[in-house]
Amino acid sequence: MDLRRDVAREIARIYCRLSPKGVEALSEILVPFKYTKGSVVLPEGAVCRHMYFVERGMVRQYYYKGGRDITEHFSYEGRIVVCIESFLRQEPSKLIVEALENSCLYGIPYDELHQLADENKEIELLFRKIMEHALISSQVYADSQRFENATERYLRLLNTKPEILLRAPMLHIASYLQMSPETLSRVRAAHLAGEIGKDKKE
């Protein structure tokens, strides 16, 4: 229970402050899961019955289009991963969730969360804050794909989520940024060359 309580405190610290009673209530419904690198957390066609807090490791959400997989989202320590439509509607997911590293996730079950939210205003607010964060993150990502060029998308990722560039395979990063691996290599090389040139001038 102590580990689950620590995770509940961390979720509250990141998303919405909870009283000690709120932390305790959240900790009681958390479900620990461990996944080895390459294993599937949620297969296509399954119902997303948990939203997951990543305590350790990295996972990605992806889907298939035109015979290849397209990465839509990465989550790592301190972040939530959830297939929003499947979770909220409790319908089969079009997305797949895969562990990119050996990972420890804590699931927040749909039924228990909604029951607890009905009884506890703090948990209801926490749920809303997590959903707001997930939806805003999705909108920012969608706007980046619509309005930014390849270099701008790469720099946004570098400045906001450098962990992804350090830990995720380049093939998945390229599909996440909606560019070919060759384009990603060129953008990275150009950025690096710019930094080196700046260093020399200084």
Confidence category of residue 2, pLDDT binned at 50, 70, 90: confident
113 and 160: one domain?
no
93 and 192: one domain?
no
In a domain, 15, yes or no: no
In a domain, 19, yes or no: no
Q: Which of 106, 127, 105 is nearest to 116 (CA)?
A: 127
How many domains are contained in the chain?
2
In a domain, 27, yes or no: no
Q: Are 80 and 129 in contact (CB under 8 A)?
A: no
In a domain, 1, yes or no: no
Residue 195's pLDDT is 57
Q: What is the mean pLDDT of the chain?
A: 93
57 and 137: one domain?
yes
36 and 68: one domain?
yes
41 and 82: one domain?
yes
Amino acid identity of residue 189, one-letter, is A
Q: How far apart are CA 7 and CA 69, in angstroms?
A: 32
Return the H-helix or E-strand segment holding 33: strand 31-35
168 and 72: one domain?
no
155 and 104: one domain?
no
Backbone angles phi, psi at 54, to 5 degrees: -85, 110
Residue 66's pLDDT is 87
Q: 70 is in which domain, residue-wise?
A: 32-118+127-145
Confidence category of residue 1, pLDDT binned at 50, 70, 90: low
Q: Look up residue 77 and give its two tokens.
A: 């320590």
- What is this structure's pTM? 0.90
71 and 133: one domain?
yes
The answer on pLDDT for 52 being more than 50 is yes
Q: How far apart are CA 91 and CA 183, in angstroms?
A: 36
pLDDT for 4-38, tens place per residue?
A: 999 999 999 999 999 999 999 999 999 999 999 99
pLDDT for 108-142, tens place per residue?
A: 999 999 999 999 999 999 999 999 999 999 999 99
Q: Are 64 and 111 in contact (CB under 8 A)?
A: no
In a domain, 186, yes or no: yes
In a domain, 80, yes or no: yes
139 and 187: one domain?
no
**CA distances from residue 184 to 59, 150, 189 in whole angstroms, order as listed:** 21, 8, 8
Residue 191's pLDDT is 83
Q: Look up residue 109 and give its two tokens.
A: 């079950």
94 CB-near residues (< 8 Å, 6+ apart): 44, 63, 85, 86
57 and 86: one domain?
yes
CATH number for position 40: 2.60.120.10
50 and 99: one domain?
yes
101 and 170: one domain?
no
Task: Please provide the size of the chain in residues.
Answer: 202
In a domain, 25, yes or no: no
